[in-house]
Chains A and B, each alone.
Chain A
């Protein structure tokens, strides 16, 4: 297991370096001049004072060579300093931490709801294959997969904010602000988790150890609960980790529609403003977290599955 962790750590370092170079290079590949783009964005005008552009270029260090800019950033990053945002002038690290906290809350809530629905529904569907519930579950899965967030988000606002008047339509101002965006984000993972749970449970319920459990006198339901769920939920853990890492990166559509200050909105603003330090910091944080989360999922997988433990020991 430690070998696995060490392997992943070495991948993490290499990936972070690659991502930081890519995040640095991408804005430079576009035709626009970053200093001009930032100033246009700040003043809502295309007619810029050339002196102001030059002052901004100097202030942001964009007059240095590209190598000096990148290695300067890397040197500071190694000391835990991701620099200051070109746009907000705030430390990148604290801005990312703030946005991550929002996206983390949103992602955990959305995925928590998805699991709450998916695990029982997928299990029940697998217990009666071809039954009415199984058919209804398949229909639900197809519907949820085909429901885009950019459609569901405004419709949910229409229903819950405008018609029923029970939830706020936008902003990040307390727990009630969390419900609609988390709901919008939970639909697709809910569908996939249900599908995976159903497939995994179908395999598990035909496994010899379930027959053995029943031979020992356990009822079908008891066998499912005690032995089926634990094994059947293993693939869900992998998918949970993937979705979690993805949602931590934020959802631009949902965060812009609901005016939520998470990672999606942070990245959206950073791209619009050519905010290179923010892009670099955000990509590095997201990729780092994705690798850490997936490593944690693999470790967890090994811990709860004795068969895997044996395989790693060999």
Chain B
């Protein structure tokens, strides 16, 4: 054999090896076990749009970083041109998966469709946005009803995904081949899974994975088992009770997600005794949040101070978790001239959040130490809602997300604490707080707005509007074979160009 022949054979072998490696890379797929199924035929206002986003199919004009900051996505820049108008500059060279190029007309049409939908998406409804128009080949103007500092953040919500004109059919939204993201949805079964395939003409480069699937597994223990068997490389929302077992089983890393969600004990402030701030503070002093964190959440959900988690851009600096002290609680009752042993309170808790049942019993026992009688009423939320909304209760347990659809807590603060708030169950009404809400809503400067939120957080903490129990934490089980994946704090994204499997 001559040297030349040797070289040819080696080259052939190398080429074959490279081809094999490339083919292997192209074939790599990822399976994610998720808890929610498609339940509203891809209606954009529903949680189905989150599945579209986690699939790497849906994209909006902006996106939210893991640090919860607004970043460019289909729009590269934005500016406020007057009090009510924002101009978004669109990215060049974006193709929908059906080959239609994205331009200002398609974007304006997509957002107008959302705006005029029979059931509006909370992030982009007619209450916030008046109109969307194409103001140039690659620029759209969005006019808001009132000054809206959060509009770029709102346009990151999965509900505001920009889809190809063909996606908006009379029968509803058809996501198959109609997104702009790095993965296309090729098939879906509402109760089973969505199947994904890489979109090679993606504007942001080619994805490392060839495709994958998101499987809908309602039972949390089954999702945990799928992580252990290797049927799913990522299993979302693992029960805290399985964290240590999964972590020690080898080949799996349990990733902690600091959920923007608070478990709280709502006090009915519109009537005695909780119209008195001293009584509210006394109740705070009687509740051992560290004990609840340990007993109910196995220590994985930290005791809460204020409504927000420590270290978040909008959290106040002086809202430490309160350490239970019954003597101080009794002293506060004395100051308020209220005898705790005369109090009989009704505590409402809903059944769909299983932890609340345990917390209700713990709260009952803790307040019992002060001589307070607490009658617990547990029922489905739907059954409790009329009383909750009408204020017919003394105490209520609630788990509240504070970044729903908008990556800043203004919606939560307005709904839960302002006088006319749509979810103000505590019926707390303070003109001074409402002034703070109005100031933050109109504040254009992001940093100043964060300070406004922090001030509001401090205010409700000082006023002891509620007893903040724990900052909730969720867990994803991730196989060691998965690379370049960090759970998103708002659960917006999973499949992207970088995520890969070894």
Contacts and interface: CB of A to CB of B under 8 A. Distances in A.
Given A49-B122, A162-B228, A31 B386 contact: yes
Contacts of B380: 30, 32
B383 A30 contact: yes
Contacts of A31: 382-383, 385-386
A297 interface: no
A157 B226 CA distance: 10
B45 A52 contact: yes
A23 to B, nearest CB: 18
Nearest to A253: B219
A165 interface: yes
Interface stretch (A116-124, A257-265, A298-306): A257-265
Interface string A269-309: 10001100000000000000000000000000000000000
A51 B229 CA distance: 46
Contacts of A211: none
A157 B39 contact: no
A44 B47 contact: yes
B119 A45 contact: no
A203 interface: no
Kindly state the interface size class of chain A when it binds its partner: 35 or more
B229 A165 contact: yes
A43 B45 CA distance: 7
A52 B40 contact: no
B88 to A, nearest CB: 24
Nearest to A169: B225
A59 B118 contact: yes
A306 to B, nearest CB: 47
B452 to A, nearest CB: 21
A154 B220 CA distance: 12
A36 to B, nearest CB: 7
A44 to B, nearest CB: 6
Interface size class of B (residues with CB under 8 A): 35 or more
Nearest to A58: B118
A258 B231 CA distance: 13
Contacts of B229: 161-162, 165, 168-169
Given A169-B231, A259-B219, A261-B192, A32 B385 contact: yes
Given A89-B172, A257-B219, A45 B225 contact: no
A157 to B, nearest CB: 6
Contacts of B106: none
A258 B217 CA distance: 8
B390 to A, nearest CB: 12
Contacts of A169: 222, 225-226, 229, 231
Contacts of B216: 259
Interface in B35-80: 36-41, 43, 45-48
A308 B259 CA distance: 67
B344 interface: no
A85 to B, nearest CB: 9
A32 B215 CA distance: 30
A40 B381 contact: yes
Contact of B45 (A42, A162, A173): A42
A274 B381 CA distance: 13
B41 to A, nearest CB: 4
A43 B47 contact: yes
B41 A90 contact: yes
A55 B219 contact: no
B415 interface: yes
Contacts of B204: none
B383 A52 contact: no
A75 B416 CA distance: 45
Contacts of B416: 47
Nearest to A259: B217
B131 interface: no
B383 A261 contact: no
B401 A45 contact: yes
A259 B218 contact: yes
B174 to A, nearest CB: 12
B156 to A, nearest CB: 17
Nearest to A32: B382
A16 B65 CA distance: 54
B485 interface: no
B463 interface: no
B46 A43 contact: yes
A221 interface: no
B382 A259 contact: no
A56 B382 contact: no
A261 B381 contact: no
Nearest to A85: B41
B191 A261 contact: yes
B457 to A, nearest CB: 18
B276 interface: no
Interface string B221-246: 11001101101000000000000000
B125 interface: yes
Interface in A216-266: 256-259, 261, 265
A86 B321 CA distance: 43
B120 A51 contact: yes
Contacts of B171: 89
B222 A172 contact: no
Contact of B217 (A41, A158, A170, A274): A170
A87 interface: yes
A42 B39 contact: yes
A257 B404 contact: no
A171 interface: yes
A42 B122 CA distance: 12
B402 to A, nearest CB: 11
Contacts of B225: 154, 157-158, 161-162, 169-170
Interface in B267-309: none
Nearest to A56: B119
22 contacts: A32-B381, A42-B43, A42-B46, A43-B47, A43-B122, A46-B381, A48-B422, A51-B125, A52-B122, A55-B118, A87-B39, A88-B40, A89-B43, A154-B225, A158-B225, A161-B231, A162-B228, A170-B217, A170-B219, A170-B225, A171-B192, A258-B222
Interface of B: 33, 36-41, 43, 45-48, 118-120, 122, 125, 127, 171-172, 189-193, 215-219, 221-222, 225-226, 228-229, 231, 380-383, 385-386, 398, 401, 404, 415-416, 422-423
Given A49-B120, A170-B219, A261-B192, 18 more contacts: A30-B383, A32-B380, A32-B383, A42-B39, A42-B46, A46-B385, A46-B398, A56-B119, A59-B119, A87-B39, A157-B225, A168-B231, A169-B229, A171-B192, A171-B231, A173-B192, A257-B222, A259-B218
Which 10 pairs show the lowest CB-CB distances between chains A and B?
A32-B382, A47-B423, A89-B41, A42-B46, A261-B191, A31-B383, A259-B217, A55-B119, A161-B229, A170-B222
Interface of A: 30-33, 36-37, 39-52, 55-56, 58-59, 87-90, 154, 157-158, 161-162, 165, 168-173, 256-259, 261, 265, 269, 273-274
